[in-house]
Amino acid sequence: MGCDGVHSVVARWLGLTELVHSGRSAVRGLAVFPQGHGFKQVRFFLDESNKAGEKVTGEAEKMQRDVLEKCTEKFPSEYLDVVRHADLSSLSWAPLMFRPPWGIIFGKLSKGNVTVAGDAMHPMTPDLGNGGGASLEDAVVLGRHIGNSIINNGGLIVPGDMAKTMDDYVKERRWRAAMLVTASYLSGRMQQGDKWWINFLRDRALYKYFFGWLSRLVFVYDCGRLPAISFGAMDLSSKKD
């Protein structure tokens, strides 16, 4: 099971499509408020679109200064205060990468008993905040398929059947994962667009008509019920084909 992140060795071994740069980057960090911050909700540190074509890199102090001076001219003062309270040792810059949805739909996501999950399968931009949730969905769906395989084989792990189990898991997750990657990318492009027609579509169409539908599509998902297995009666040894 390849759960080894965005730059997955297992995904590369399977021959999955290489990652694509979204055209945006992010500075991430942890803000420290010893006396408490008083915010009701805290989400992203910064999602920076590189509108000026500059990379925010270098030493932590320079990175913090660049964020304050180049990327946040229209941000509220509360946000700037968060940036100023950042623990410099926690700051990092990275390009926002994703796997093209067609690479997930048509790619070979499993081979025999080997498959991938989480960012190793479907790295996505963070605009919908659903990367971790999608990984948990992978775990539940995979666990359900493996559990059903063990139950159907009398409590035995059958290598030949396990390959089919991996394939069934991939078939169930393929389209869902591709949809999440696509929705996250388009949401980010729309919300951070700097062209008038993108802003028009965002303000007059996305937020007004489509965002509620998109939210239900993304966040309302049934992974299925995990099977109940009695481990006391289970033989964990592998059965030969």
pLDDT digits (tens, 9 = 90+) for 160-174: 899 999 999 999 999
Rg (CA), the chain: 22
Q: Which long-range contacts (CB under 8 A, 24 or more apart) does 70-77 make?
A: 71/27, 71/46, 72/46
pLDDT at 53: 42
Mean pLDDT calculated for residue range 208-223: 81
Confidence class of residue 74 from pLDDT cuts 50, 70 and 90? confident
In the three-class reduction of DSSP (H, G, I as helix; E, B as strand; rest coil), residue 66 is classed as helix
| Residue 104 near residue 121, CB atoms below 8 Å | yes
pLDDT of 55 strictly over 70:
no
pTM of the model: 0.81
The mean pLDDT of the chain is 84
pLDDT at 148: 93
pLDDT at 49: 53
Residue 192: name the closest of 15, 24, 61 by CA. 24
Amino acid at 169: Y
